[in-house]
Amino acid sequence: MTDDLAYATATELLEGYRAGTISPVEATQAALSQIAKYNGALNAFVLVDEDYALASARESEARWQAGTPKGLVDGIPTTIKDILLTKGWPTLRGSLSVDAAGPWNDDAPCVARLKEHGAVLLGKTTSPEFGWKGVTDSPRTGITRNPWNTNMTPGGSSGGASAACAAGMGVLHVGTDGGGSIRIPASFTGIFGIKPSYGRVPAWPLSPFGTVAHVGPMTRTVMDSALMLRVMSGPDARDWTTLPPVDTDYVEALSASIKGKRVAYSPTLGYAAVDPEVAAAVKRGAELFAELGANVEEVDFLFENPLPIFNVLWWSGARYALRNLTDKQLNELDPGLRRVFEEAASITLTDYMDAVQARGELGMRMKQFSETYDLLLTPSLAIPAFEVGKLAPKELEEVGGWVDWTPFSYPFNLTQQPACSIPCGLNSDGLPIGLQIVGPMQNDAAVLSAAYAFERVSPFAAARPDLTKLV
């Protein structure tokens, strides 16, 4: 069993299954081997169900041998973030307030779709408590670490998924993103992650954080995310906000050319302070788009920093999510989340409605922006990964926590647009840097095809962490 098989893409595995040169059991064993070797150092999983995974893989192998694969990802090792319901497995949400006894009788829509298409579920990946912040540690599961440097955070809140993905512990990984929680960890760990248009992937139960919360793929390649999005998208009667189904095959759409596309490049969005190495890498990425034939124009100011809008909506959601906890449970919360809960008590209905109206203005502005530009390029994050156990690097600790180093992510949760992070460089400490690509609302294919074009020419597409340092 080799690391090479663990790092095979879904596309490569499916080709091997068809040809009979690889089996789903071998692929699953390779992923489980990576987990056994490296999860102790990374703490990416809250649950690994080896028996279930191998049984599912054997069933998949039998289907492939009979020439009757179940679906588009039959036999592909997959993980689920521990925010999403998964039948038979606890969904603990990183919190001591959740009773592990359940019952756990339901699958979230995306989990159900992946099972229907034959995915082999390995287990559940870690999240901060209720997915509230951009790093991954919690009172229930402890600290999750970055495969590139275990002293550093993998980001969050889908940090377990990103660490697992970067370390070859599974091929397809489901994340959620309410303020950057797919794109933040994708950037910090050098993988690809996309926050689809709101409603593209149905969710149930609906997030207490409301209509900023998205579900999406995290993978090592753009094509794997395109395949995964094709599986997970589509209507589900339990989510009344789901977008109507589209005929787009996201994998086929990857071949669309970006030549002649009108691409805006904004180094700071007009308000962000960006690490110089991050800025330089993203600038090189924008230049690469120009070399690919896109019409790239630097556009710095787009809108005022919408952080006040985001904070009101996000903090209110946190207050609502925790409203029924007992005093004992509140005292066991992540201290930062407890502070958010307490501070949110001062938000008035007028404050909330003001934020809703301001959000509408921001959404209108970006819809008008999309009439001029096909895509927007920005840094994924303002900084590279920093030390674990912190909400922010030291120089930002007094300013306001995780949202101060994520100035490029939360605006596009407010506008609900599709946005991805793709690796575009390494800093002088060997830590990944991400480029964000933002597209018009409901045009997820445009973001994927642009990312795919970039990936094919980027020198960082195949970069992997040195896992020998972990053992």
Find the mean pLDDT for residues 138-152.
98
Catalytic, 225? Answer: no
Residue-by-residue DSSP string for 98-111: S-TT-------HHH
Q: Which domains does the chain have, with CATH numbers?
A: 3-308+335-470 (3.90.1300.10)
For residue 288, pLDDT over 70 is answered with yes
Confidence of residue 404 (pLDDT cuts 50, 70, 90): confident
Instruction: Read off the tokens for 295.
Output: 């019409």
**How distant, in Å, are the alpha carbons of 2, 76, 170, 438, 470 from that of 30?**
7, 11, 9, 34, 17
pLDDT attached to residue 462 = 86
Tens-place pLDDT, residues 224-265: 999 999 999 978 999 999 999 888 999 999 999 999 999 999
| First vs last C-alpha separation in the chain | 17
Q: Which of 95, 162, 181, 225 is catalytic?
A: 181
pLDDT in tens, 12-26: 999 999 999 999 999
70 is catalytic: no
**For residue 402, what pLDDT is reported?**
77
Confidence of residue 1 (pLDDT cuts 50, 70, 90): very low
Nearest to 415 by CA among 195, 181, 162, 218: 195
Q: Are 83 and 110 in contact (CB under 8 A)?
A: no
Output the DSSP codes for 68-115.
Answer: ---STTTT-EEEEETTS-BTTB---TT-TTS-TT-------HHHHHHH
The pLDDT tens digits for 57-89 are 999 999 999 999 999 999 999 999 999 999 999
Q: What is the pLDDT of residue 397?
A: 63
Point out the catalytic residue in the list 81, 124, 133, 283: 81
pLDDT of residue 137: 97
Angle, alpha carbons 118-123-129 (nearest 5°): 130
The pTM assigned to this predicted structure is 0.97
Q: Is 266 part of the annotated catalytic residue set?
A: no
Tell me: the pLDDT tens digits for 38-60?
999 999 999 999 999 999 999 99
Identify the pLDDT of residue 403: 82
pLDDT at 79: 99
Q: How confident is the model at residue 400 (pLDDT cuts 50, 70, 90)?
A: low
Tokens linked to 301: 């100011």
> Position 365: which residue type?
R
Task: Provide the percentage of residues in the chain whose pLDDT is more than 90.
Answer: 93
Give CA–CA dist 164/35, Å, rounded: 8
DSSP 249-302: -TTGGGG---TT-EEEE-SSTTT----HHHHHHHHHHHHHHHHTT-EEEE----
pLDDT at 398: 55
pLDDT of residue 284: 98
> Of the residues 138, 157, 207, 421, which is catalytic?
157
Q: Please, what is the average pLDDT of the chain?
A: 96
Whether residue 30 contacts residue 170, with contact meaning beta carbons closer than 8 Å, is answered with no
